[in-house]
Chain A
């Protein structure tokens, strides 16, 4: 579980996050949603320690992440996996070398043990046999899956995903969402996903936090989205005229 308390972040004079408090639960897919510029990426970077909050606390279980030394932060990061928006795969390494990198760096496993673990992760993301391909030789969706495989290779307790569906077609997006969700439940990981993909919200939104202009505007789960009378949430979820028509039709039919 990750708990954030009154997190504020300013860049020079501009306050990007204005006192956000929420909890990301273990074994659930926790979504941070919001329009571009709402502060989602800044919040995610604060959570993984790539940025330091101006004030407030971030608790990983009972440990206050904001009061740790660099070495202690690195120790926590051994329990963290992250999937980047652009996958951030190392271009000069093959798929296998990319996934093996954390094992090479932090474990003393034998070559066979490492290969077994890499193959298990590749199997988990349905990319068996892609070991020797380079990132440039696989599609965007496959790159995301390799990114997921790399992020789970050290069996993390926390998984962060920055817009995992960006640039993917709807079908592939669903595959990625399902993959993240099943890994989260299977390994009881605390997963935090930064997204503005509405399919993800409705499919895997176990716990949703809506950011608006640097503030927490709404919190709930996918089942509460339709019932909420929060205008900011409704404006965001049903932003397009098409979705608005669909929603009105559903309300008319009594489906929601």
Chain B
């Protein structure tokens, strides 16, 4: 088991070295990066918005319930929704969802190309397949996923407003006051650090799983599942590590 982990880790590092080598032709990589940005960004927008809206709404309602009739001012609901969404829920939940949607898609796409000998065909043409197939995905993810995370944070805060103001939990002024109180821009920095690190993790882990797939359709399914599970575990682990490092 330990040997297996070390073997995979070593191969992952060597794989990354190949991925980050000099591109054969920048224009081809640029085209592929744009396509990936569209797939990851536009293709994931709906699910990210829906989940974020729900997160914000539920956080606001639950926190209002926790406050009950205590003496804590109601505007704290806005403040808590804002901070918990920006610091934690937007980056983590968005990336967990994207690991399921985008990560499994990447593993299946690259694994399918491996099985249909597309990767071998490109290799024989002289293409650095690790770089051509994966680097555009990583670059696209590093640009687009932090953007999705920031959209998620915004929509989450909006969700909190929609669930608490029209339902009479608090007034609009209170909520606005809450989201403007005790604001620390450093939290935004933390959100982007998390979004960027998680984007790198979910893309590279998923592509690694797809690139080295062997066997048939069952193995491809297993690789796709591993891509999601390992990405999720690593996202949770890095979430904790970033929280510790950036709040020390």
Contact = CB atoms under 8 A, between A and B. Distances in A.
A75 B24 CA distance: 11
A86 B117 contact: yes
Given A86-B117, A88-B116, A90-B118, A106 B124 contact: no
5 contacts: A75-B126, A90-B118, A91-B116, A104-B27, A154-B125
A106 B24 contact: yes
A140 interface: no
B25 A104 contact: yes
Contacts of B127: 105
B118 A78 contact: no
B24 A105 contact: yes
A78 B126 contact: yes
B28 A77 contact: no
A80 B123 CA distance: 11
A74 interface: yes
Contacts of A78: 125-126
Nearest to B123: A50
A101 B25 CA distance: 12
Contact of A84 (B24, B27, B117, B132): B117
Nearest to A45: B120
Nearest to B115: A86
Q: Is the interface of B mostly helix, strand, loop or mixed?
A: helix
Interface of B: 24-25, 27-28, 116-118, 120-121, 123-128, 132
A75 B125 CA distance: 9
Nearest to A147: B121
Q: Is the interface of A mostly helix, strand, loop or mixed?
A: mixed
Given A49-B123, A49-B124, A80-B126, 17 more contacts: A50-B120, A77-B125, A80-B124, A82-B121, A84-B117, A88-B118, A88-B120, A88-B121, A90-B118, A91-B116, A102-B125, A104-B25, A105-B125, A106-B24, A106-B125, A154-B125, A160-B124
Nearest to A84: B117
Given A74-B126, A75-B126, A106 B121 contact: no
B18 to A, nearest CB: 8
Contact of B126 (A90, A91, A106, A160): A106
A48 B123 CA distance: 9
A52 to B, nearest CB: 13
A50 B120 CA distance: 7
Nearest to A108: B25
A86 B116 CA distance: 8
Nearest to B112: A91
B24 A88 contact: no
A193 B27 CA distance: 34
